[in-house]
Amino acid sequence: MPDLENEIRNMIAQIVEKDPSQVTLDAKFFEELGMDSMMALEIMAGMEKKYKITIPEEKLTKLTTLRETVAVAKEYLEKKNA
Amino acid sequence: MLNIEEIQKILPQKFPFLMIDRVLELEPGKRIVALKNISINESFFGGHFPGQPVMPGVLIIEAMAQAAIIMFYAPENIPGDKQASYYLGSVKVRFLSPLTAGDQLKIEVEPIKVISGAGLVRAKASAGGREVASGELSFSVKHG
């Protein structure tokens, strides 16, 4: 899902105030992109709003890279459409 | 709903930094409507601006943040946590109309997403039916 990946990349880039090119699939949010827990919460809330899904709190620890984040979004989009 | 004595028991902020005078409606963790009366005696009007009193926008944000604290941490919701510290994380607020002496600032806050130890809220400020500011605030809480 290239579109999902790019949409989420742009959202993350805006929240961590980096260029989207720095948000690679495996760049580590906390160590490499300077993310904190409040930014992670904003990303979660941003995805919930954009895709009209609900992501439970325990998934927050999963949000460590773009790859993982896209996988979480995909999982809940599939659940919604099931 | 909550008078100033009760508000002072909940908020860690004290004089001269109390930005809420009264709570009109409160559903703990879900919604709050709170008031601040703005008087010409506010100390910031001395410098902001001489001869042209305008309430600083940052203090409207502070009022939003204090209303959010009361909404989440009113005694009914979390009993007796007096050691909690609150940290504002990000603010995305648009200012729509200036506030001056004689205005009654009405703040409405509701959560967008809350997890343990952090939250994201939507806040709206109005005065006499006109919208003054609106936006989103994120914050974290550390319990002492």
Catalytic residue (one of B48, B86, B88, B120): B48
- Chain A nearest CA to B81, separation (Å): 21
Band the pLDDT of B82: cuts 50, 70, 90: low
Q: Is B91 on the interface with A (CB under 8 A)?
A: no
Residues 6+ positions from A69 with CB-CB distance below 8 Å: A8, A12, A43, A47, A62, A63
Counting one residue from A and one from B, how many pairs have CB atoms under 8 Å apart? Answer: 32
| Predicted pLDDT of residue B64 | 98
Across the interface, of A37, A48, A49, the residue whose CB is closest to B118 is A37
Spatial separation of the C-alpha atoms in residues B130 and A76, rounded to whole Å: 39
Interface test with A, best of B90, B110, B136 (most A CBs within 10 A): B90
B48 catalytic? Reply is yes
Q: Is B92 on the interface with A (CB under 8 A)?
A: no
Q: Which residues contact A16 (CB under 8 A, 6 or more apart)?
A: A23, A29, A33, A34, A35, A39
Q: With a cut of 80, say whether residue B66 has pLDDT above it.
A: yes
Chain A residue numbers touching B116 (CB-CB < 8 A): 57
**Quick one: pLDDT band at residue B85, thresholds 50, 70, 90?**
confident
Tell me the pTM.
0.89
Cβ contact B140–A44 (<8 Å): no
List phi, psi (to 5°) of A37: -65, -30
Q: What is the pLDDT of residue B63?
A: 98
CB A80 within 8 A of CB A52: yes
The Cα of B27 is separated from the nearest Cα of chain A by a number of Å equal to 22
- Give yes or no for residue B80 having a pLDDT over 80: no
Task: Please answer yes or no on whether B140 and A57 come within 8 Å at the CB atom.
Answer: no
Give mean pLDDT, residues B18-25. 98
Q: For B83-92, what is the mean pLDDT? A: 88
Considering only CA atoms, give the Rg of chain A. 12
ipTM score here?
0.80
User: Which chain A residue shows the shortest CA-CA distance from B115?
Assistant: A57
Structural domains in chain A (count) = 1
- The DSSP symbol for A18 reads -
- Chain B contact probe: residue of A11, A36, A42 with most B CBs at under 10 A: A42
- H or E element that contains B109: strand B104-115
Q: What is the CATH number for A73? A: 1.10.1200.10
pLDDT band at B74 (very low <50, low <70, confident <90, very high): confident
The dihedrals phi and psi of B6, each to the nearest 5 degrees, come to -70, -40
- pLDDT recorded at residue B57: 97
Q: Report residue B17 as tokens.
A: 């930094």
Region B4-142: CATH code: 3.10.129.10
Range(s) of the domain holding residue A60: 2-81
> What pLDDT score was predicted for residue B116?
82
Q: What is the spatial distance between Cα B102 and Cα B20, in angstroms, rounded to a whole number?
A: 15
Q: Per the structure block, which two tokens stand in for A40?
A: 């992670």
- pLDDT surpassing 90 at residue A82: no
> Where does the pLDDT of residue B84 fall: very low under 50, low under 70, confident under 90, or very high at 90 and above?
confident
Res. B12: pLDDT tops 60: yes
In tens, the pLDDT along B112-139 reads 999 888 899 999 999 999 999 999 999 9
DSSP 3-state of A51: helix
Phi, psi of B36 (to 5 degrees): -135, 125
